[in-house]
Structure 1
Amino acid sequence: MEKIFGVKLGSAKCAVDLGDGSERGEYVCQDYILNKLGRPHRSISLMYCYYPFDKEWPARISEAHSDNEISFQWDYPYDDYFPYLGGLGGNTDGEPFSFMCDIRRHGQDVTLTVTMDPAVTDEQLAAIGRDLRPFGRLFLRINHEATGNWFSFNRRAGYQEVADFYCRAARIIKEQAPNVLTVLCIGGIEDPESEKMVREKEFAQAVRETDIWSVDKYMSLNWGWPYEVAERGGTKFRRSSVREIYELTKKSFDRFCHLNGGAPKPMVMSEMNSDGDVTGPFDQAETVRRFCDMLSEENADWFSAFTFYQFRDRGRLGLERQDPNNADVGIEQPVMQTYKEIIHEERFMPGLAVGGEVKLPVKLRWGSSEDADGIAVPLHFDAQPHFCELYFDDDSNLMIELNGRWFYKSPGAKVLDLMSAFFEKPLEGSADMTMKIFAPPASGENDLSAEDGLYNYYYTLEKLPVIRIRTAPILPEP
């Protein structure tokens, strides 16, 4: 290696995010997810709730009411998400902050969904904003699916009150944390014959004030889970065509633009999937495949990102299904391989642009999963490697890409085996390629004492690791 070059991490044509934990499943660590899927996501979505005036708070409501007879997932006094333990009088030692740090260490942004009591005060909202300051670019989804009727905040306030609360919460939180991007998730256009969105009059101001527009769309869903099995003749599940879901989402974007005076904003689908409870596991994979193919075939440049809901699920909405015998074990579903293929296609991959030569030591910048400056190290392989390893003697926290596969190097790791970069994409002869190195924050948090610490994290890489490449077994067959 005689030269190294700068490299810019940029955005994908269509970014992919991933849900990790909700009322239906527990959080799965990012090391496991990265090793299963081979690349980081733009963002990882976490689901939390904040009802600080309720007598059960801050208990998880399904645990506080475990002896009560419940026949619907949302029949509890407040939403059965993990409790947001920060805010006024709280602390940032536990959830969701430990998970947010795990996500950011692995080169991904956080999407934090929080359902909130509309009675939450300005002071409580400001405290949440202060909680979120160290986490760089963060997507905040407040009171999602707000035009529905199942969440507790919709039972406590009218739709106009919910919409007004969204604007108030977004404004106050962003005053404390301008690094936060707010995501308005409402029903959009739900009827193909309609030209207007559900409750658009109430939410028109929120449409104009938010940073990002969003709809949640499932091509099939059993919303009676886990209390009802989807069988023919049932009333708590549905299935829609892929084309209908695509067209409703596109019409929703057009209507958002209309309400915003014709000006576009990023349009995302914050929850996307097809429920295996309705379709079975094989049709689930096929349906997800068709939707993503449609985005590519029709060059849906109006569509910025989708979040696959979710990684591991107790029902059939996950890439894995939680083993009923052991909550720490996931059973891979057919959609896992389909999804892995999708997220490695060009449309859904982040940009990697190699630039001019740089010299060590080099100051690396991490802005977000779509905006970072790293280095590219040229490597030559005479043939398919039998060993490809990195040896470190520092405490760097790095994300490393080689041959399309990404690896995480924690501060305590001293040896990194890169051979899995060649398991699914073996070399057929000699090859030249570059290994890209980026440095997201080792603690998961930015240094707010830096001049631009709200938005950027910096790390000075003093030297490269020792690289060991061997293209034959150490002891060949005698």
Structure 2
Amino acid sequence: MNKVILTPATCALDMGDGSERGLYVNQDYILQKLKKVHRGISLMYSYYPNDKEWPTRACEIDTGRESTGAWDSPYENYFPYRGGREGLRDNEPFNFMKEIRRHGMDVVLTLTIDPHLKEEDIIPIAKDLRPYGRVLLRINHECTGDWFCYTKRATYQEIADFFVMTCKVMHKYAPNVKMILCAGMYMSDGKLEMEDIFLEAHKAADIWSGDNYLSLHWGWPNDIVSKDTINYARYSVKEVYEKCKLTYKRLKKITGQDKPMVLSELNADGDVAGPFAQSNMMKEFMELLQADKEKWLSAFTFYQFRDDGRLGLEITDPNNSEIGIEQPIMAMYREQLHRPFFSQKIKKGEDAGEFPVKLRWGGAEDAEGIEVPVKLSKTPVQFELHFNDKLIPLNMMIEFNGWWFYKAPGTKYVDLMPYFFESKNAVKKPGTFKLHYFLPPADGMNCPQKGCKPAGDPYEVKDGDWLYNYYAELPELPEISLLEKAVCIKTTKCIK
């Protein structure tokens, strides 16, 4: 029995889950649909605590006039961030953040923030984020555009300076948080859009980013795509790919730095050319990434799982917002998600020794687990994991031959048979398969002392290890209930 280590994919995949265009979908549902975890789940919120309308969601504010566009409101129409000055850490997005981390993924949080807030307004947000491990924080994204509400409140220089100030606050008060700058992309003149204004912001950021769509209906939901409207476009996949790559190269040149490059929003819009073209365009982009010998992109976020328009793996059922209608892109994306290029590596570690075994959870790209070999001579008819009283309280992520399963605290068994329901996964010849157990935080939060709960002001930064790592003990292995032949075969025998 050996320990194993989760390490980064060649290019990680994150998933957008909820925005102005759709509601959050729980991680159990997403896992059942995709059969595999992402590196991170992206959430999108707004924070304008000085506005008289706050914390009403923007779409519910009565402006006294009819809306003329998606961002024609006092502030962005993401759900309100209720931490910070309000301090409602049992509200959203914290419940979703806990669920994401319980399911073995990292939090990727987007906040649009009033750019006139001061350092003392940002410090409480940093304290909010301390217990959530390796958080990726993107603030005031697409900041060289003119469509978001915050760009109408401040100059671009003020927005750039605000980002630099926020970086300094996070690095001091929440060093577990990595800052993403999503700014201008490469232009035909060989420069980045507003590169001089945002140069210091690019230098201050931990991660560089851009948002790009292969096709997009930006007039949604105020109009539809037709020959009589102009609020949409379709682009060359290869040209978009090259523009993103050139953006990264230009950033390295103008900053003298080399940092991870991500695309924080990427998809094709099914509104523009239909759902089949949407799938084909995204597939082409992902194939270009895998064929490129220059591994320049560290991750991208698919925007998003379920969308009220046509920017999702599912679209929201107009009869019931709790139901999604799967699109053709779902099957394509699921197949790509399982490819080695987009998958974390599981590397063999040291001998696990005697039970109980202490395991470290750093995050989706850095965690310890236990590997157990399972011998199969043919496709089983039963393959379950059973948990005794010592194991039932544990929170566990289970990986079997590329598929991931979740065990919540209190769950007594996990059925691994769905892996074999797909004909391609049938056991064609005897062999040994690898089963892996990981222990992400049961309540979704890191903690400096075993058993402590956040109360009042979050933990002070004294011992830095707890900010990055969560530790739990595996007292023993689950029992494997495995049958390769049905117990009851003859009908007459079963009737007796």
Cα distance in 2 between the residues matched to 1:449 and 1:195: 52
Correspondence for 1:304: 298
Q: Does 1:415 align with 2:427?
A: no
Correspondence for 1:202: 197
Partner AA of 2:225 in structure 1: A
Q: Does 1:256 align with 2:269?
A: no
Partner AA of 1:152 in structure 2: C
1:461 to 469, 474, 479: 474
Report the Cα offset of residue 124 of structure 1. Answer: 1.3
User: Residues 233 and 299 of structure 1: is their aligned pair in 2 closer, same or farther, counting only changes over 3 Å?
Assistant: farther
Partner AA of 2:165 in structure 1: R
The superposition leaves residues 323-359 of structure 1 with CA deviations (integer Å, 9 ceiling, x where unpaired) of 0000000000000000001111110010011234312
Kept in 2: contact 1:208–1:259 (CA 8 A): no
Q: Which moved more, 1:98-107 or 1:82-91?
A: 82-91
1:405 to 398, 403, 409: 403
User: Residues 256 and 314 of structure 1: is their aligned pair in 2 closer, same or farther, counting only changes over 3 Å?
Assistant: same
Correspondence for 1:136: 133
Q: Does 1:240 align with 2:256?
A: no
The superposition leaves residues 176-216 of structure 1 with CA deviations (integer Å, 9 ceiling, x where unpaired) of 10000000001211x3x220111111100001110000000
Correspondence for 1:57: 54
Report the Cα offset of residue 93 of structure 1. Answer: 0.7
Correspondence for 1:268: 262
Q: For 2:125, what is the secondary structure of its paired residue?
A: helix
Report the Cα offset of residue 66 of structure 1. Answer: 8.2
Partner AA of 1:13 in structure 2: T
Correspondence for 1:163: 160
Cα distance in 2 between the residues matched to 1:420 and 1:474: 19
Kept in 1: contact 2:359–2:369 (CA 8 A): yes
The size of the alignment, in residue pairs, is: 472
Cα distance in 2 between the residues matched to 1:11 and 1:147: 30
Cα distance in 1 between the residues matched to 2:485 and 2:67: 61
- Structure 2 unmatched ranges of 5 or more: 451-462, 492-496
The within-5 A match list for 1:71-220 is: 71-189=68-186, 191=187, 193-220=188-215
Partner AA of 2:383 in structure 1: C
Kept in 1: contact 2:46–2:111 (CA 8 A): yes
Correspondence for 1:447: 447
Partner AA of 2:68 in structure 1: S
Correspondence for 1:427: 427
Q: Which moved more, 1:445-454 or 1:212-221?
A: 445-454
The superposition leaves residues 31-71 of structure 1 with CA deviations (integer Å, 9 ceiling, x where unpaired) of 00011001110000000000001111011110223874112
Q: For 2:238, what is the secondary structure of its paired residue?
A: helix
Cα distance in 2 between the residues matched to 1:17 and 1:343: 10
Q: For 1:353, what is the secondary structure of its paired residue?
A: strand
Cα distance in 1 between the residues matched to 2:446 and 2:58: 33
Correspondence for 2:311: 317
Kept in 2: contact 1:88–1:123 (CA 8 A): no
Kept in 1: contact 2:145–2:151 (CA 8 A): yes
User: Residues 105 and 67 of structure 1: is their aligned pair in 2 closer, same or farther, counting only changes over 3 Å?
Assistant: farther
- Structure 1 unmatched ranges of 5 or more: none
Correspondence for 2:488: 475
Partner AA of 2:413 in structure 1: V
Q: Runs of 4+ in structure 1 displaced over 6 angstroms? A: none
Kept in 2: contact 1:113–1:141 (CA 8 A): yes
The superposition leaves residues 358-414 of structure 1 with CA deviations (integer Å, 9 ceiling, x where unpaired) of 122110100010000110011111210110001112211000001211000001101
Kept in 2: contact 1:404–1:421 (CA 8 A): no
Cα distance in 2 between the residues matched to 1:459 and 1:447: 11
Kept in 2: contact 1:384–1:429 (CA 8 A): no
Partner AA of 2:419 in structure 1: A
Correspondence for 2:458: none
Report the Cα offset of residue 279 of structure 1. Answer: 1.4
Cα distance in 2 between the residues matched to 1:385 and 1:356: 30
Report the Cα offset of residue 22 of structure 1. Answer: 0.1
Cα distance in 2 between the residues matched to 1:181 and 1:47: 16
Cα distance in 2 between the residues matched to 1:67 and 1:159: 29
Q: For 1:453, what is the secondary structure of its paired residue?
A: helix
User: Residues 183 and 243 of structure 1: is their aligned pair in 2 closer, same or farther, counting only changes over 3 Å?
Assistant: same
Cα distance in 2 between the residues matched to 1:438 and 1:40: 13
Correspondence for 1:342: 336
Report the Cα offset of residue 420 of structure 1. Answer: 1.1
The superposition leaves residues 1-57 of structure 1 with CA deviations (integer Å, 9 ceiling, x where unpaired) of xxx111111100000000000000000000000110011100000000000011110
Cα distance in 2 between the residues matched to 1:410 and 1:343: 23
Report the Cα offset of residue 474 of structure 1. Answer: 2.4
2:11 to 7, 11, 14: 14
Report the Cα offset of residue 90 of structure 1. Answer: 2.5
Report the Cα offset of residue 232 of structure 1. Answer: 2.7
Q: Does 1:382 align with 2:380?
A: no
Report the Cα offset of residue 448 of structure 1. Answer: 2.6
Q: Which moved more, 1:375-384 or 1:78-87?
A: 375-384
Cα distance in 2 between the residues matched to 1:278 and 1:92: 39
Kept in 1: contact 2:184–2:195 (CA 8 A): no
Cα distance in 2 between the residues matched to 1:434 and 1:355: 14
Kept in 2: contact 1:276–1:317 (CA 8 A): yes
> Identity across aligned pairs (percent)?
49
